[in-house]
Amino acid sequence: MNRINYLMNGLAALAFIVLFSQCAGKADNQVATTPASATAELSGMKIAYVEIDTLLAKYNFCIDLNEAMVKKSENVRMTLNQKMTALNKEKQEFQKKYESNAFLSPERAQQEYNRLAKMEQDLQELSNKLQNGLMEDNNTNSLLFRDSINAFLKEYNKTRGYSLIFSNTGFDNLLYADSAFYITKEIVDGLNARYSSAKK
């Protein structure tokens, strides 16, 4: 069940996505031969950054994916709990019958024991199957999220001309950045507008 609880935390893996676009302009045709020329190139770069935590919290597509995953995880948990409760009840009944010598023969008791053992094995296999399905869904959602970001940034940057767009989670990557380089709200608004039109 620990794996199910872990998955119910949503799409935490998405926080590791790095957002970037191609360097613009004539850089492909030039070779920097001196520190001075490299500095000149850097000084002409247009840079921005996006807070991934905010993006995860406010991008409606991500919110919908997360809610769907939570619902699937809860359904899996309920299904497994119901089957486990039913199995435990049968095991308790078997124990009572065995202790009171209610079985017609030792062979019949062994048959019932084998049946319950098979049920327990089947339940474990079902648990593994459902949990693996959740993990696959989570991976698929991560790819969908990443692709939606990349597709949007490709169009977005045609008119903005950024050389680099960094991602940041808390203080993991950027220790300091001027707020002038912060474009998270603009990105979130654009993504949500694009997602809303796609849903219609």
Residues 25-66 pLDDT 10s: 333 333 333 444 444 445 678 999 999 999 999 999 999 999
- Is the sign of the CA dihedral 125, 128, 134, 140 positive or negative? negative
Portion of the chain with pLDDT greater than 70, in percent: 78
What 8-state DSSP symbol labels residue 48? E
Of the candidates 13, 23, 33, 130, which has an alpha carbon nearest to the alpha carbon of residue 80? 130
3-class DSSP state for residue 11? coil
pLDDT greater at residue 80 or residue 101: 80
What distances in angstroms separate CA 70 from CA 32, 66, 140, 187, one per listed residue?
A: 50, 6, 15, 25
Question: Can you tell me the distance from the alpha carbon of 98 to that of 101, in angstroms, rounded to the nearest whole number?
Answer: 5
Confidence grade of residue 72 (pLDDT, cut at 50, 70, 90):
very high
Residue 11 CB contacts under 8 Å (≥ 6 apart), including other chains: 56, 62, 65, 66, 69, 138, 141, 142, 145
Higher per-residue confidence, 172 vs 78 = 78
121 CB-near residues (< 8 Å, 6+ apart): none
In angstroms, what CA-CA distances link 95 with 50, 83, 99, 111, 117? 60, 18, 6, 13, 13
Instruction: Give yes or no for residue 11 having a pLDDT over 90.
Output: no
Give residue 83's pLDDT.
96
Average of pLDDT values for 78-89? Answer: 96
